[in-house]
Amino acid sequence: MEYRYLGRSGVQVSALCLGAMSLGSMGNTDVNECTEIVHRALDAGINMIDTADVYSRGQSEEIVGAAIAGRRDDVVLATKFYNPMGRDRNRRGASRRWIVQACEDSLRRLNVDHIDLYQIHRLDENTDLDETLSTLSDLVRSGKVRMIGSSTFPAEAVVEAQWVAERRGHVRLHTEQPPYSIFVRGAERDVFPTAQRHGMGTLVWSPLNGGWLTGKYRAGADPEADSRFARVPQGSWRTDSPGAQRKLDALDKLEKVAVDAGTDLIGLSIAFAKAHPAVSSVIIGPRTVGQLESQLLAADLVLDEDILDRIDEIVSPGTTIARGDLAFEPRAVRHKRLRRR
Catalytic sites, residue numbers? 55
Q: How far apart are CA 40 and CA 46, in angstroms?
A: 9
Q: How far apart are CA 173 and CA 118, in angstroms?
A: 10
Q: How far apart are CA 17 and CA 79, in angstroms?
A: 12
Structure-derived torsion over alpha carbons of residues 30, 35, 39, 44, reported in degrees to the nearest 10: 40
Report the 3 state secondary structure along the chain.
CCEEECCCCCCEEECEEEECCCECCCCECCHHHHHHHHHHHHHCCCCEEECCCCHHHHHHHHHHHHHCCCCHHHCEEEEEECCCCCCCCCCCCCCHHHHHHHHHHHHHHHCCCCEEEEEECCCCCCCCHHHHHHHHHHHHHHCCEEEEEEECCCHHHHHHHHHHHHHHCCCCCCEEECECCCCECHHHCCHHHHHHHCCCEEEEECCCHHHHHHCCCCCCCCCCCCCHHHHCCCCCCCCCCHHHHHHHHHHHHHHHHHHHCCCCHHHHHHHHHHHCCCCCEEEECCCCHHHHHHHHCCCCCCCCHHHHHHHHHHCCCCCECCHHHCCCCCHHHHCHHHHCC
CB burial of residue 242 (10 Å; 0-12, 13-18, 19+):
exposed
